[in-house]
Amino acid sequence: MFYLSEVQDYIRVEPKLFGLPTMEAVDLQLKEIYTDYYDKELGTVITVISVLEVGDGVIIPGDGAAYYNTKFKLLVWKPEMHELVYGIISEITNFGAFINLGVMKGMIHISQTMEDYVSFSKTNILTGKSTKRSLKQGDLCLARIVAISHKGDEPKMGLTMRQPGLGKIEWIKEDQLKKEREAKKVVREEKSVKKAKGKGGKKK
């Protein structure tokens, strides 16, 4: 989920930026610090939105940089359990699929790709035995986050597409059309029954 986070911290501005206006130097330093930055509590930093306040600089003996007490705003993305996420299948393996969510990647175990028995082909495609539905690299999908691990430099996410309303976008559209056809069929049948009852109840 995306968040706007307001942070206050002492920012170490390197000497190479001393010739710039303080606000600009702090902004450039922040963008360098928060490039590809991830924190378990904060999430993944997308970008530095703005520098709100910059206090007086502090010099520490033995360190050529200046430290500024700074308040700034970040755009971050933090994965949440049970969150719905859109992504593109970036890789198919014999144990499942990796999905690129734009900000980071998630993994879908082969048993969680669809409500079917799934097999892996030599052409890197996952295929359902009964439905004949296939999943391949480049497919756009809707999945749900069911597991998050914070071990390592960035979180690892486990996803599922077995729940109703999830999966490859084409599958979701197909299921929706099927439901609509079934609903129309039920309405037609109900109308036919009412019409038949109405005819049977008329006196000659």
Q: Is the pLDDT of residue 200 over 80?
A: no
**Dist. CA 109–CA 150, nearest whole Å:** 18
Per-residue pLDDT at 187: 86
pLDDT tens column, 120-136:
998 999 999 999 999 99
- Looking at CATH, the fold of the domain delimited by 2-77 is given as Dna Ligase; domain 1 (3.30.1490)
- Looking at CATH, the fold of the domain delimited by 84-171 is given as OB fold (Dihydrolipoamide Acetyltransferase, E2P) (2.40.50)
pLDDT tens column, 34-93:
998 988 888 999 999 999 999 988 888 888 899 999 999 999 999 999 999 999 999 999
Average pLDDT, the chain: 91
Per-residue pLDDT at 30: 96
Please report, for residues 14, 16, 43, 55, 58, the alpha-carbon distance to residue 66 in angstroms, rounded to integers and kept in the order given.
Answer: 7, 11, 27, 11, 6
Predicted structure pTM score: 0.78
What percentage of the chain carries pLDDT values higher than 70?
A: 97
* Segments making up each domain of the chain, as ranges: 2-77, 84-171
Q: Is the pLDDT of residue 6 over 80?
A: yes
Per-residue pLDDT at 154: 75
Is 88 in contact with 79 (CB distance < 8 Å)? no
